[in-house]
Amino acid sequence: MYKVTDGVFIHFGHHVRGHLGPCISLHGHTWMFQVTLAAKELDHQGFVIDFDVLHERVLSRAHKLLDHSLALGEDSWRENAPILQQLGVSLYGSRETIQGQMGTRQSGFEPGEPGLAGARNEWPGNIKLAVFPFTPTSERLAEWLCNFTQAEIGDERVKVVRARVVETLHPTESAADYEP
């Protein structure tokens, strides 16, 4: 069995709805999203998969969805959309005050673009949110990454054997794995 692993670092914040500890607060991490793919046979080029294909079809799209965003579950988004709209107008508007212009909105998926495995970007007041159909814990994000990767790349030859989401690297690594 051949296996390859690749990943991407993504900076984003999240909120864990109903958490009894500090994760109830908005907070952020430098996350690492990794996927491991396996195949019994290599393709005609000698790969399980070309790393460029994995980046283009999965890792870069996950980065585009999440980079410098606030990740929320659907319930938290729905309950707080009006407040987030007001906050976004104020925060984004600071560009005009400080820079004298509004500048360009950061990269992400625009309204109407298909989301990624049930996740999408919302833009209240031009600030970037990533909205998931679940509360975005490391464990649920790992399962989402696994399912998204399998849908995008998996076939009869190539299988996703693990998705890993690392939310803390220092002082020790804290990670969640999902294996189908």
Instruction: Give tens-digit pLDDT for 42-100.
Output: 999 999 999 999 999 999 999 999 999 999 999 999 999 999 999 999 999 999 999 99
Instruction: Give tens-digit pLDDT for 21-50.
Output: 999 999 999 999 999 999 999 999 999 999
Per-position DSSP letters for 80-145, written without gaps between them: HHHHHHHHHHHHHHHHHHHHSS---PPS-PPTTS--BTTBEEE-GGG--EEEESS---HHHHHHHH
Cα–Cα distances (Å) from 41 to 1, 3, 110, 158, 159, in that order, read 7, 10, 38, 9, 11
- Looking at domain 2-15+28-97+106-178, does it have CATH number 3.40.640.10? no
Query: Looking at residue 40, what is its pLDDT?
Result: 98
Q: Indicate the burial class of 31 (C-beta count within 10 angstroms; 0-12, 13-18, 19 or more).
A: buried
More confident residue, 113 or 179: 179
- The ranges assigned to domains in the chain are 2-15+28-97+106-178
> Residues with Cβ < 8 Å from 114, sequence gap 6 or more?
none
pTM above 0.75, yes or no: yes
AA identity, residue 98: I
